[in-house]
Amino acid sequence: RRCLEEEVPYVPQILKPTLDEVLDWAEVLVVANKNPEYAEVPHRLRPDQSLVDLVRIIQSPNGTPGKYVGLCW
């Protein structure tokens, strides 16, 4: 925790409590957890947002409004 607070002290300011707030604010989103709530993220992107998917949250990125990048799967 100390390392995080020293190296990236702005993290608490950018963490958001809800998915809606993250989608409203973020330019780039990273999905690293297969929580079913995150399955809707690719389809809720704005055209100017990017999603980095580390867990293959969806089978096909076709039809996603933003930029979709699947990594490590």
Walk along the chain (73 residues) in steps of 10 and give the mean pLDDT of each run: 83 87 95 93 96 94 92 86
Q: What is the pLDDT of residue 18?
A: 93
Could you give the CA distance from residue 49 to residue 70 in angstroms, rounded to a whole number?
14
Name residue 6's amino acid. Answer: E
Q: Vertex 71, ends 1 and 27: CA angle to 5°? A: 65
pLDDT score of 3: 83
pLDDT value at residue 38: 93
> What's the pLDDT score for residue 14?
83
Written as one letter, the residue type at 64 is: T
Q: Cβ contacts of residue 10 below 8 Å, gap of 6+?
A: none
E strand or H helix at 21: helix 19-25
